[in-house]
Copies of this chain bind each other. A is one copy, B any other.
Amino acid sequence: MGAKSSKSRKRLGKKEYESLSAFRYALRRFLRFSEEAAEAVGLTPQQHQALLAIKGFPGRESVTNGELAERLQVRHHSVVGLVNRLEAQGLIARAQGESDRREVYINLTARGAELLERLTAAHQEELRHIAPQLGAILEGIE
């Protein structure tokens, strides 16, 4: 039948590209908001994400290096540098694992928690604002 290409994949029309592009645009704008909020309190975007991943880890508020890497979706040794910079700023503290002394558990300091709280409040508000829009775009893709 009307198969134009070798693989029998669905034809993609202008509308499909526009929907996907609109989704990425909305996403980039949210991430941009987030980047600027982080910088406004003296953090890089990645440092902010690390603090959130620690405090927001399911069931705990302390994570190992490897766990943090998984939550941030980066390699473990990328986390090392990130944690070094956060430690230098006094926003997190390292503690060697008790049962397994290879592990390093990372905790927020009071100062780290305070910065994160401010950022989190701002992000909640922004997300409440854009969530309906994001949802609408996603439905256009389905």
Contacts and interface: CB of A to CB of B under 8 A. Distances in A.
Interface of A: 9-10, 12, 14, 16-25, 27-29, 31-32, 49, 52-53, 55-58, 61, 71-73, 116-117, 120-121, 123-124, 127-128, 131, 134-135, 138, 141-142
Contact of A28 (B10, B73, B127): B73
A111 to B, nearest CB: 14
Contacts of A12: 117, 120-121
Chain A, interface SS category: helix
Contacts of A72: 28
A118 to B, nearest CB: 8
A74 B16 CA distance: 24
A123 to B, nearest CB: 6
A135 B125 CA distance: 17
29 contacts: A9-B121, A10-B121, A17-B52, A17-B56, A17-B116, A18-B58, A20-B56, A20-B120, A21-B53, A21-B55, A21-B57, A21-B71, A22-B58, A23-B127, A24-B53, A25-B71, A27-B27, A28-B71, A29-B73, A31-B73, A124-B141, A127-B138, A127-B142, A128-B141, A128-B142, A131-B138, A131-B141, A131-B142, A135-B135
